[in-house]
Amino acid sequence: MAQRILVLLAETPVHAGGGEATGIVDLPIQREAATRLPIIWGQSLKGALRDTLRSQLDPGEDIRIFGSPVAAGSDGAGDRATTRGGVAFGDARLLLLPVPTLVRTFAWVTAPLLLSRLGRIATVLSGTSTGWALTTPPGSTAIAGETWSGQQALGSLVQTVRPDRALAGIAADLAELVFPAGAAFDHARAKLREDVLVVDDGVLAELSETGTDIVARVQLNAAKTVENGPFYSEHLPCDTALAALLSGEDELLARLGELLDGTTVRVGGDETIGKGLMWCRVHDAATLPRRSAAAAHLPAAPAPVPATPAAATTPEPARRPGGAGPSPASIPRRGTR
């Protein structure tokens, strides 16, 4: 069985719906049960790719890759013969999360857990564990570029950032892994080489809970008055990167790579309001970046502290310019009432 790594980069906010409401969020995104990190389940990814590629595949190819289509009106009962798809679509797990900063607008954060996962699926793909060293010790907070140092605001947290050029190889690998070829991505590649922070796993978990986009929406009737709402939906922010392992017949995986690499797909809901557009990269063992430096041995960073001291009284919710209402950061998060 052959394998490929599929890397997805959010061009617009992405809403892959996760089921029941949590706190004030009526439509949350999919998350891992244990870590609460964002994820796109394999079944959601498979459906989105099939919908995107349907017009480019003949019926035979479609069935060989994705399996038999669901019959109209079928409830799953009966003995209708079905064909299993020749490709297994793994979950797309978080690789890079963009967070707002006071320096250089924003940075991407990753963590030892995410880099370890990426290293494992790269090992599955290449058959060796020595060609791609993407690991850092727990408790480290570092940056590949030299423009960061000292205490820095990362989203709602403050972290002590230590520049370390030993991470330059990792940042360069990630830039090649995530962005398609072409001049349109030159600026993003250059920024990623400089602005990747490796934070503690616990810090990443906190940032992934508070760093998603929470959008208030209403449904209007024909008279342009509110029929339903407001309700709140959650989205992965633009420039989030995720990685999935694809397994199956080499011929079918090569065909998927030919169709997907460097193109866009729509994933999740809210397509009619421009959400869910993601760039694709498909890597085999030959195209994996192999320039990583050895893992850096960095001192543990101090525990995160709030970006601002807690006030003695409940502060007034932050408001967007123009008085448009509370900012997403002021909306109560999960577990609140």
pLDDT in tens, 41-78: 999 999 999 999 999 999 889 999 999 886 644 555 55
Distance CA 337, CA 334 (A): 8
Q: What is the mean pLDDT of residues 197-208?
A: 91
Longest dimension (CA), the chain: 67
Residue 178: CA count within 13 A, CB half-sphere = 29
Structure confidence at residue 128 as a pLDDT band (50, 70, 90): low
Structure confidence at residue 240 as a pLDDT band (50, 70, 90): very high
Distance CA 294, CA 28 (A): 38
Domain that includes residue 279, residue range: 2-68+84-308
pLDDT at 335: 45
| Mean model confidence pLDDT for the chain | 80
Q: Is the pLDDT of residue 321 over 90?
A: no
Structure confidence at residue 167 as a pLDDT band (50, 70, 90): confident
Partner residues linked to 108 by β-bridges: 98, 196
- In a domain? residue 79: no
Most confident of 18-32, 101-115, 309-323: 101-115
Q: Is the pLDDT of residue 103 over 60?
A: yes
- In a domain? residue 337: no
Q: Is the pLDDT of residue 23 over 80?
A: no
Q: What is the mean pLDDT of residues 179-194?
A: 93
pLDDT at 155: 92
Structure confidence at residue 287 as a pLDDT band (50, 70, 90): confident
pLDDT at 313: 44
Span 227-239, pLDDT tens digits? 777 888 899 999 9
pLDDT at 171: 86
Name the least confident of 245-249, 256-260, 267-271. Answer: 267-271
Q: What is the mean pLDDT of residues 145-150?
A: 75
- In a domain? residue 127: yes
Q: What is the mean pLDDT of residues 36-42?
A: 95
Distance CA 238, CA 215 (A): 14
Q: And the tokens for 5?
A: 């790594």
Q: Is the pLDDT of residue 123 over 60?
A: yes
Beta-sheet pairing, 150-154 with 157-163:
antiparallel
- In a domain? residue 89: yes
pLDDT at 129: 56
Predicted TM-score (pTM) of the model is 0.80
- In a domain? residue 184: yes
Q: Is the pLDDT of residue 334 over 60?
A: no
pLDDT at 14: 95
Q: Is the pLDDT of residue 269 over 50?
A: yes
Percent of the chain whose pLDDT exceeds 90: 43
- In a domain? residue 331: no
pLDDT at 131: 43
- In a domain? residue 322: no
- In a domain? residue 104: yes
Q: Look at the chain and report how many structural domains it folds into.
A: 1
Percent of the chain whose pLDDT exceeds 70: 76
pLDDT at 299: 40
